[in-house]
Structure 1
Amino acid sequence: MKKKKVILSLFMAVSVLSLVYLKSQRNGIKSELVLSNIEALASGEDNQIYQCFGIGSLDCPQISTKVAFIRIL
């Protein structure tokens, strides 16, 4: 009888740990999907070519540094 209780409790522990692991894996997939969507929205859809000149206060779209002038080709 005692052996059955030990086996049953071991089985229950493995089952609970398996469920926790699977739940964490599913949440990881959702968060990866959300991060991919955010990245796609943040990247923009413009296909323009920019030329950035000088040092100033404007953000260059291509290299994300401060420049004086931005020329759109």
Structure 2
Amino acid sequence: MRKLVFFLFLCIVVLLTAKRSTNHHVSFNTLLYYNVEALAAGEDLNVYRCVGSGSVDCPIIHDKVKYVFGGYSLEE
């Protein structure tokens, strides 16, 4: 009986660890995607929109926001 309880406990710990690692992997890919988008956008955007409150600098109001959206142009 003691071995059965230990085995069930071990299975629960393994399942919770696997679930946590898969959730962490998804959020890492999303974060990586946002970083690639930010690097690809460049710094010459003319139209900005700042949303939320977070740790990103908004160029219009010089405050910390969650997201900064800008227009894209093919001309330089």
Q: What is the TM-score when the length of structure 1 is the normalising length?
A: 0.54
What letter is aligned with 1:15?
V
Q: Given the alignment of the two structures, is residue 22 of structure 1 paired with residue 20 of structure 2, yes or no?
A: yes
Q: Which residue of 1 aligns with 2:36?
A: 38
Give the fraction of aligned pairs with identical amino acids, expressed as a percent. Answer: 27
Does residue 13 of the first structure (1) align with residue 11 of the second (2)? yes
Q: Which has the higher helix share?
A: 1
For residues 20 and 8 of structure 2, what CA distance do their matches in structure 1 show?
Answer: 18
Taking the aligned partners of 1:8 and 1:47, their CA distance within structure 2 comes to: 59
* Structure whose alpha-carbon radius of gyration is higher: 1
Aligned-residue CA RMSD in angstroms? 2.5
TM-score by length of 2: 0.52
- Where does the alignment leave 5 or more consecutive residues of structure 2 unmatched? 48-71
- How many residues are paired up? 52
